[in-house]
């Protein structure tokens, strides 16, 4: 019985998801729930990073499950954090500093008012784009972190990992067989 990286990540991601749902339902203000969220965040980052570098060697369904579980674990602690404004302020400051170094034909941008105006516009543009992306990611994260969905995702990951280690059919194989049967009946 050879246990590979995808099986371990599926098992760990599934187990963490199930434990997080259990602790959330039990007491979402408990230290153990918060510790599980931190552990889940770390595991999620590792899962996404390893899948990003090894996905071509793994079955597509397993890679997709690992990325979904990893994203759900990573986004959970940041559900109420507005990162777009923080990054936009950084863009504004960097733009302001960069414009101060301009010389030659663009030296007029290094003057006070044009420099401030261009920096604010750059920050506003960065905020607009990042806010949209952040809200989109948060929407997906909120959907994946609804406890029934997170529980089902965790169970699927756990079962998939166990089935792969057992050497039998995977969840995806069972889904394909089921859809073929349904298609024949229709």
pLDDT (tens place) for every residue of the chain, 186 residues total: 456 888 889 899 999 999 999 998 888 888 889 899 899 999 999 998 888 888 788 888 888 888 889 888 988 887 767 778 888 888 998 888 888 777 777 777 777 788 889 889 999 999 999 999 988 988 888 888 888 888 898 998 888 888 888 887 888 888 888 888 888 888
Same domain, 136 and 180: no
Structure tokens at 17: 């998801």
Structure tokens at 154: 């965790």
Is the separation of the CB atoms in 11 and 158 below 8 Å? Answer: yes
Same domain, 72 and 108: no
Structure tokens at 32: 């153990």
Same domain, 60 and 149: yes
Is the separation of the CB atoms in 144 and 132 below 8 Å? Answer: no
Q: How many domains does the chain have?
A: 2
Say if pTM beats, i.e. exceeds, 0.95: no
Q: Which of 12, 68, 6, 7 is nearest to 40 (CA)?
A: 12
Same domain, 137 and 171: no
Provide the b/e sequence for 61-89 (b: ≥16 CB within 10 Å).
Answer: bbbebbbbbbbbbbbbeeeeeeebeebbe
CA 11 to chain centre: 18
Residues of the domain holding 55: 1-79+145-186
Same domain, 28 and 44: yes
Same domain, 25 and 74: yes
Same domain, 30 and 46: yes
């Amino acid at each position: 019985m050879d246990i590979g990286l995808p099986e371990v990540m599926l098992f760990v991601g599934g187990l963490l998801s199930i434990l997080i749902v259990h602790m959330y339902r039990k007491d979402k203000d408990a230290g153990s729930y918060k510790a599980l969220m931190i552990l889940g965040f770390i595991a999620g980052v590792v899962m996404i990073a390893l899948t990003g570098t090894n996905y071509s060697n793994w079955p597509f369904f397993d890679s997709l499950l690992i990325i979904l579980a990893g994203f759900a674990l990573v986004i959970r602690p940041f559900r109420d954090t507005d990162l777009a404004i923080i990054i936009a302020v950084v863009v504004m400051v960097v733009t302001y500093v960069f414009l101060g170094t301009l010389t030659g034909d663009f030296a007029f941008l290094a003057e006070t008012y044009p420099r401030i105006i261009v920096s604010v516009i750059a920050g506003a543009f960065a905020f607009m784009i990042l806010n949209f992306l952040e809200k989109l990611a948060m929407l997906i994260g909120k959907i994946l972190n609804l406890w029934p969905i997170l529980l089902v995702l965790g169970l699927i990951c756990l079962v998939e990992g166990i089935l792969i280690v057992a050497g039998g059919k995977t969840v995806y194989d069972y889904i394909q067989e089921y859809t073929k049967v349904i298609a024949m009946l229709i």
